[in-house]
């Protein structure tokens, strides 16, 4: 039991990293499946176009899907077309742009994984770059004594080329090597960028490491409690209204948050060095005790990037590592 608790605590602490890892593995598995089942090089003048469509279109779909499943996307967009504060405030607009960039960085995990795995596999690159438009292969054919080398480059991926088998093998090995070099270079660049950006974000953290860990734990528990209480509250409210309908009696008084209260806790989180609030709900509760309202006219655009998780997210791509 103690070992199980230790494992559970590790999973909870590393849920963001594990979430990214699972997303990357799922994308890699999907790419491998598509390469085996769906991808079929035409081996003609459509080689390059077909390969680019197969490489980039799924990546684009995964990229857009990353926006769609992000809670922060909808928190940022909901009501922005009719909320005058969000429409008129330049500082809120700048804050929104900053959050949009952060959402974009998270949404890039799946498409970059797709492209990287496809390049490491080499099939798509081999198909796309097999043709007389490849200057490197043209030079390769120029050094070959085979006269129809240029015309047969299209057919190399399918094994239907009339080129000698040794030349076909050399070309395929060369293209696979190019593809894997590009793939590993992309992975290395992304890894270095992720490490550097995480280090920079942590260096400018206004809170200590332990407080940051507590803050993340609090936010996770707050999300869990909010979801649970929302279900309970909705159920009680539904039972009250349905009972009133069937019994044809006036419903009993029922306290529920006002639209203004929902709007206040749905605002973007604002960081303050003087007032320590762990979330918009925490701020609303403290202001409620003081019998004041949360002001929506000012949003601190300079919120530290290390606290971006506070804006409320459940999907791993929403969190900053």
Supply the pLDDT for residue 10: 40
Q: pLDDT under 50 in the chain at which residues?
A: 1-15, 18, 294-301, 314-321
CA–CA dist 39, 32 (Å, integer) = 10
DSSP letter, residue 311? G
CA–CA dist 260, 265 (Å, integer) = 9
247, two tokens: 């019994």
CA–CA dist 69, 318 (Å, integer) = 9
Between the two ends of the chain, the Cα-to-Cα distance in Å is 29
Give the pLDDT confidence of 30-68 residue by residue, as tens digits: 666 666 667 888 888 888 899 999 889 989 998 998 888
Supply the pLDDT for residue 144: 60
Q: Which residues of 39-51 are buried (b: 16+ CB within 10 A; e: fewer)?
A: bebebeeebbebb
DSSP letter, residue 192? H
CA–CA dist 115, 125 (Å, integer) = 10
Nearest Cα to 158, choosing from 55, 58, 47, 48? 47
Cβ pair 31, 114 in contact under 8 A: yes
Supply the pLDDT for residue 63: 92
Nearest Cα to 180, choosing from 115, 245, 130, 260? 115
Rounded-to-10 torsion of CA 172, 178, 179, 181? 140
CA–CA dist 49, 43 (Å, integer) = 11
Q: How many CA atoms lie within 13 A of 225 on its CB side?
A: 8
CA–CA dist 112, 186 (Å, integer) = 8
Supply the pLDDT for residue 237: 93
Nearest Cα to 319, choosing from 228, 252, 223? 223
CA–CA dist 86, 92 (Å, integer) = 6
């Amino acid at each position: 039991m103690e070992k199980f608790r230790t494992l559970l605590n590790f999973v909870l602490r590393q849920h963001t990293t594990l979430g990214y890892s699972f997303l990357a593995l799922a994308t890699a598995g999907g790419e491998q499946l598509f390469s085996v089942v769906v991808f079929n090089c035409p081996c003609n003048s459509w080689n390059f176009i077909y390969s680019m469509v197969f490489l980039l279109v799924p990546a684009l779909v995964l990229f857009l899907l990353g926006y769609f499943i992000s809670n922060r996307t909808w928190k940022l967009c909901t009501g922005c077309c009719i909320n005058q504060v969000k429409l008129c405030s330049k500082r809120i607009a700048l804050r929104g742009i900053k959050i949009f960039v952060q959402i974009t960085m998270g949404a890039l995990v799946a498409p970059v994984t797709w492209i990287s795995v496809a390049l490491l596999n080499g099939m798509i690159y081999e198909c796309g770059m097999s043709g007389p438009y490849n200057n490197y292969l043209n030079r390769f054919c120029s050094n070959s004594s085979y006269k129809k080398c240029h015309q047969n480059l299209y057919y190399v991926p399918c094994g239907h080329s009339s080129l000698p088998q040794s030349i076909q093998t050399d070309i395929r090995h060369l293209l696979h090597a190019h593809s894997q070099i590009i793939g590993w270079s992309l992975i290395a660049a992304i890894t270095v960028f992720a490490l550097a950006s995480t280090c920079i974000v942590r260096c400018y953290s206004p809170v200590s490491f332990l407080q940051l860990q507590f803050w993340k734990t609090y936010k996770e528990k707050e999300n869990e409690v909010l979801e649970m209480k929302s279900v309970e509250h909705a159920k009680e409210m539904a039972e009250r209204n349905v009972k009133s309908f069937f019994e044809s009696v006036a419903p009993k008084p029922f306290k529920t948050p006002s639209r203004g209260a929902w709007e206040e806790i749905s605002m973007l989180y604002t960081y303050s060095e003087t007032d320590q609030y762990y979330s918009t709900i925490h701020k609303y509760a403290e202001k409620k005790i003081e019998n004041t309202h949360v002001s929506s006219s000012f949003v601190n655009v300079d919120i530290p990037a290390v606290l971006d998780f506070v804006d409320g997210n459940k999907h791993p791509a929403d969190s900053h590592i």
